[in-house]
Amino acid sequence: MRTMAIRLRYEGTNYHGWQIQKDQSTVAEEVERALSRLAGAPVKVVGCGRTDAGVHAERYCASFRWDATIPAERLPLAMNALLPRDIAVMDAMDAPEDFNAILSCQKKEYTYRIYNTRLRDPFWEKRAWFYPQPLDEELMARGARAFVGTHDFKAVRSVGTETRTTIRTIYDFEVERQGPMISLRVSADGFLYNQVRAMTGTLVYCSLGKLIPEEIPALLERGDRCLTGPTAPPQGLYMTRIWYPEPVGSFMQRD
């Protein structure tokens, strides 16, 4: 059986996230439907992570196994002809037999976009968090640096998904403003449920003076979700990078 990896891009507004759910339209469901049509038999996909309803992906990796003989380089166009227009396959490759989009993942990057200006922009409505009060990106960057490292992150997650441990390592967390747009770019070996959105809300609290950035390690230590900031809304969140061992690693960084 062939094992394949595909690089996807999707605008998540119309989906209840990646993961297949009963009675809800999801990205995985659309991808499986298209693959199954090409294969003439049911195909199951594994995604590199769950994304919530309304969350987007600039780069997303899915893996699957099948017997179809279509060459990898022809798969993107063939898939895109079958997929809804807010989901696209950008690239495909034959992967090592044991490759699995979630289990093989070494590191992920998410970007959270806050549109921070007095008047909202209709073009960013479904793609950023509109925040009209002025935010101080310097204070937010100080808070972001305080999250970097290996910590127990249970103070910045939502309950609801099981996980063996709530310890994760954040490698990098940068805050950058370009005009009205503040981008928070964070990479880690993995994220807890809603962690990026809760960290975003916590950095907004830093900007508002409700928290001191340097207090963050102590708040993580205490592990109480009530002491950190609110969960930012989903439409500002994008999965932007994923790292794997070679050969899938460089495949995912192409373009």
Q: Is 233 in the site for a second copy (CB under 8 A)?
A: no
Per CB under 8 A, 9 contacts a second copy = yes
Binder of a second copy out of 1, 69, 85, 97 (CB under 8 A): 85
Does 56 contact a second copy by CB under 8 A?
A: yes
241 is an interface residue for a second copy by CB under 8 A: no
Q: Considering the complex, what minimum distance in angstroms separates the CB of residue 123 from a second copy?
A: 6
| Residue with Cβ nearer a second copy (71 or 122) | 122
Mapped to the 3 state alphabet, what secondary structure does the chain carry?
CEEEEEEEEECHHHCCCCCCECCECCHHHHHHHHHHHHHCCCCCEEECCCCCCCCEEEEEEEEEEECCCCCHHHHHHHHHCCCCCCEEEEEEEECCCCCCCCCCCCEEEEEEEEECCCCCCHHHCCCCEECCCCCCHHHHHHHHHHHCEEEECHHHCCCCCCCCCCEEEEEEEEEEEECCEEEEEEEECCCCCCHHHHHHHHHHHHHHCCCCHHHHHHHHHHCCHHHCCCCCCHHHEEEEEEECCCCHHHHHHCC
Binding span for a second copy by CB under 8 A among 84-92, 143-151, 152-160, 225-233: 84-92
Interface residue with a second copy among 1, 123, 133, 209 (CB under 8 A) is: 123
Residue 125 or 214: the one with the smaller Cβ distance to a second copy is 125
Q: Is 52 a catalytic residue?
A: yes
When the beta carbons of 80 and 158 are compared against a second copy, the nearer one is: 80
| Candidate residues 125, 176, 214, 221; the one interacting with a second copy per rule CB under 8 A | 125
Count of beta carbons in the 10 Å neighbourhood of residue 236: 27
Shortest distance, position 112 Cβ to a second copy, whole Å:
16
Catalytic residue, candidates 52, 91, 98, 255: 52
- Which of residues 109 and 219 has its CB atom nearest to a second copy in the complex? 109
| Site for a second copy contains 122 (CB under 8 A) | yes
Q: Taking the alpha carbons of 21, 22, 24, 28 in that order, is the dihedral positive or negative?
A: positive
Contacts (CB under 8 A) with a second copy, residues 195-214 = none
Residues taking part in catalysis: 52
Footprint of a second copy (CB under 8 A) = 9-11, 56, 76-77, 80, 85-90, 118-123, 125, 127
